[in-house]
Amino acid sequence: MEKKAPVKKTGSAVKPGKQVLHTRIIDDVFTDAVDAVKPRFQVNIDAYLDRLWEASPNIYEILKNSNDLEEAREKIYDYLQKAERRIFDVDNDLHILEKSTVREAIRVMKSIIGPVNEYRTKFSALDLLMKLTNKEKQKIEENISPGFILEFINLFRGLEGRSNIYFESKQAKKGIPDFLQMTGRAASEARTNILNELSSNMQKYLRKYPSGLEEEVIHWRKANKKRILKYFNADEKDWDNYQWHLKNVIKDAAPLIELIELTEEQKEAITRAIKNKIPFGITPYYLSLMDSKLNIGYDHAVRAQVIPPPDYVDMLIESKENRGIQFDFMGEHDTSPVDLVTRRYPGIAIVKPYNTCSQICVYCQRNWEIDEVMDPKAMARKDEVASALQWLDENPAVGDVLITGGDPCVMNTHTLKDILERITSKKQVYRIRLGSRTPVVLPQRWNKEFVDMIASFQIPGKRQISIITHFEHNYEITPEAMEAVQRIRKAGMMVYNQEVFTVENSRRFESVKLRLDLKSIGVDPYYTFNMKGKEETKKYMVPIARILQERKEEARLLPGLDRTDEPVFNVPKLGKNQLMAWQDHRLVMILPNGGRVYEFHPWEKNIQPVPPYNYIDVPIYDYLEELAARGENIRDYRNIWFYY
């Protein structure tokens, strides 16, 4: 396996009031390639605007010649209506798939210029576009991101039937592929060649993402383990004991500095986090998954899972006194009918008896309520647990109970057994899910005694026990994790994975590789979560358009058994929105920084009239800049703009 050096981000922040001039403008579906060349040059907004007005001269004329906003709005509505009617003409020569793109672009444009959406978002993209056609643009263009203009370049091209999704140099015209004009074996062979090309292209990307099951990686990690055991004056017997790992959870920078290479930024962030009592911890086992040298560069997702970025540390320090309110993105304060219980769905409830973990994930949903790794005060009081379980008796509609926290599998075995006994005594409970990251960060926990105890509560046909875990990257998949999963599966329990879609696993086919490697060890992909809109973890966020693109252009190439996960957005206080169901969300505005505003409809849609939720997404342009800084060819992502 070829070693590679990671490409580190270059360039510095642009000073306020200055424009950035890119070294090149490429006339493709991207229009402008984002530039990560150091030093970062000033953008020539006029060059972007030239591409914008070239994308739709008709809309430019409407905007430029309208006397006011309402006149422009009415003229564009009229233009869009005519454009929509044109694609239904018999003599329209566009390819039927390009026509679909036109219809989608029309739907989005109508939504963006809708007065009600301007009112709700307190911004008018239409007004800003009008100002960019005249002399007023000099007053405002320095506050506009190229991402705003790129969004409308691609939207306008979509409106005009020139998305270039299918052909980069010309419009997609009517036509029938060769294999559909053939019959029999000739048709089959022609189609096979196309499918082979798609598969071969995917394999090229998959080779970029080795798992921990590959021999060379196993060899590196044996060396890592040897150094860690020597540092702690321990032996192989200790390593196989999960309690040894818990007693030796790394809570300061010293072992890391001694055992692996860290960047100066990582050292500083860890030191400041510990100094300011921000939850931090890494199990010795999980440390062994990190590459000892920075130039190996495969462990980016592993490090990012536990090493906090500087801006995260800054925000948690600034908000230390009120983080319990500020960082509760899911609104658990408002969906907790009794202490330790959260409920957002009719038949499901979350029970949280234990409020810490064996290590701390930076972007944890509940970072606002966890005080420290392996907190000795993490176990809820007996009366609190009794009250939470009594609540289940009072709500017999709840038959599916998710025990999470914190990590319940870090609790004392006897304590967890007691809770399971009390929950399974309730007749309505037909499923218990244990939410735990221990299969990933502490697989030693899943010894025979522990697995047998949990499996004893499963009664086929009556009660199901399932393990819900969180592998974030296929580099976390190891022989030890596979052994733990196989032990669980052989005991008759299922193991499901919830992936959080972040900048660390969102490159082309990176999540595909995770799915394939998960299935190979016996874990079923369950959910892929769009990053929650928690400001302190903004560095990890990926545009919704990217998760939709990944699902369509990458995951779709896999057999159905490998892509069993559902991409979802967790709506605060309400619950999961199925991102593949386009009717459950819509794009309503583009902000000056290029961020999209989405209106998410609750799961109760068509059942009860619950209000929607507006969400401001991370700009696509910013995400592409980050990918470019990491050495990605952003042309691989060029269709991202057309996922709404």
Residue 355 tokens, joined: 């409020």
What own/partner pairs with CB < 8 Å and gap ≥ 24 does 35-38 have?
A: 35/628, 36/9, 36/10, 36/11, 36/625, 36/628, 36/629, 37/10, 37/11, 38/10, 38/11
Residue 75 tokens, joined: 């003229």
The chain-wide mean pLDDT, for the chain, equals: 89
**What does the alpha-carbon distance between residue 162 and residue 29 come to, in Å, rounded to a whole number?**
9
Q: Say which range, 59-63, 164-168, 308-312, 346-350, has the weakest mean pLDDT.
A: 164-168
Look at residue 308 and tell me whether its pLDDT is greater than 50.
yes
Q: Say which range, 295-309, 356-370, 603-617, has the weakest mean pLDDT.
A: 356-370
Query: Residue range 588-610: average pLDDT?
Result: 93
348 burial (CB, 10 Å; 0-12 / 13-18 / 19+) is: middle
Tell me, what's the pLDDT at 31? 41
CA angle (557 as vertex; 551, 563 as ends), nearest 5: 60
**What does the alpha-carbon distance between residue 413 and residue 180 come to, in Å, rounded to a whole number?**
61
In this prediction, residue 330 has a pLDDT band, given cuts at 50, 70 and 90, of low
Question: Which amino acid makes up residue 224?
Answer: N
- Quick one: which of 232, 540, 246, 228 has its CA closest to 373? 246
In this prediction, residue 367 has a pLDDT band, given cuts at 50, 70 and 90, of low
**What does the alpha-carbon distance between residue 509 and residue 284 come to, in Å, rounded to a whole number?**
30
In this prediction, residue 42 has a pLDDT band, given cuts at 50, 70 and 90, of low
Q: Say which range, 12-16, 203-207, 351-355, has the weakest mean pLDDT.
A: 12-16
Query: Residue range 592-605: average pLDDT?
Result: 93
**What does the alpha-carbon distance between residue 334 and residue 352 come to, in Å, rounded to a whole number?**
15
Tell me, what's the pLDDT at 331? 62
Task: Please report, rounded to a whole number, the percentage of residues in the chain having pLDDT higher than 90.
Answer: 74
- Torsion angle, alpha carbons of 287, 293, 296, 302, to 10: 20
**What does the alpha-carbon distance between residue 59 and residue 574 come to, in Å, rounded to a whole number?**
39
- Which pLDDT tens digit goes with each residue over 427-443? 999 999 999 999 999 99
In this prediction, residue 228 has a pLDDT band, given cuts at 50, 70 and 90, of very high
Strands 348-354 and 613-616 turn out to be unpaired
Whole-angstrom CA distances from 622 to 63, 186, 303, 587, 592 are: 27, 46, 22, 18, 13
Tell me, what's the pLDDT at 27? 39
Look at residue 378 and tell me whether its pLDDT is greater than 50.
yes
- Which pLDDT tens digit goes with each residue over 560-586? 999 999 999 988 878 889 898 878 999
Look at residue 387 and tell me whether its pLDDT is greater than 70.
yes
Strand partners, 405: 354
In this prediction, residue 142 has a pLDDT band, given cuts at 50, 70 and 90, of low
Using the structure block, give the residue that is written with the tokens 């733990």.
484
Tell me, what's the pLDDT at 328? 60
Task: Please report, rounded to a whole number, the percentage of residues in the chain having pLDDT higher than 70.
Answer: 89
- Quick one: which of 487, 430, 479 has its CA closest to 453? 487
- Torsion angle, alpha carbons of 229, 231, 233, 237, to 10: -10
Look at residue 17 and tell me whether its pLDDT is greater than 80.
no
- Who contacts 414 (Cβ-Cβ below 8 Å, separation ≥6)? none
In this prediction, residue 205 has a pLDDT band, given cuts at 50, 70 and 90, of very high
Phi-psi region of 189 (alpha: psi -120 to 50; beta: other; left: phi over 0): alpha
Please name the helix (run of DSSP H) or strand (run of DSSP E) that holds residue 348, with its range, or none: strand 348-354
Strands 464-469 and 613-616 turn out to be unpaired
Sheet arrangement for strand 596-600: 585-590, 596-600, 613-616
- Quick one: which of 554, 534, 556 has its CA closest to 546? 554
**What does the alpha-carbon distance between residue 7 and residue 628 come to, in Å, rounded to a whole number?**
9
Query: Residue range 270-286: average pLDDT?
Result: 93
In this prediction, residue 326 has a pLDDT band, given cuts at 50, 70 and 90, of low
**What does the alpha-carbon distance between residue 421 and residue 415 come to, in Å, rounded to a whole number?**
10
Strands 575-578 and 566-571 turn out to be antiparallel
**What does the alpha-carbon distance between residue 235 and residue 435 come to, in Å, rounded to a whole number?**
30
**What does the alpha-carbon distance between residue 414 and residue 212 come to, in Å, rounded to a whole number?**
32
Query: Residue range 500-520: average pLDDT?
Result: 97
Q: Say which range, 26-40, 157-171, 620-634, has the weakest mean pLDDT.
A: 26-40
Helices and strands, number each (H, E), in the chain:
27, 12
**At 377, is the secondary structure helix, strand, or coil?**
coil
Tell me, what's the pLDDT at 28? 42
Look at residue 11 and tell me whether its pLDDT is greater than 50.
no
- Quick one: which of 585, 528, 531, 578 has its CA closest to 555? 528
Query: Residue range 617-629: average pLDDT?
Result: 95
- Which pLDDT tens digit goes with each residue over 429-484? 999 999 999 999 999 999 999 999 999 999 999 999 999 999 999 999 999 999 99
Q: Say which range, 77-91, 136-150, 209-223, has the weakest mean pLDDT.
A: 136-150
Q: How far is CA 335 from the centre of its chain?
A: 23
Tell me, what's the pLDDT at 373? 87
Q: Pick the more confident residue, 139 or 194.
A: 194
Using the structure block, give the residue that is written with the tokens 């709005």.
73
Look at residue 400 and tell me whether its pLDDT is greater than 80.
yes
Tell me, what's the pLDDT at 23? 31
Query: Residue range 636-643: average pLDDT?
Result: 96
CA angle (325 as vertex; 321, 331 as ends), nearest 5: 165
Q: Say which range, 290-294, 325-329, 535-539, has the weakest mean pLDDT.
A: 325-329
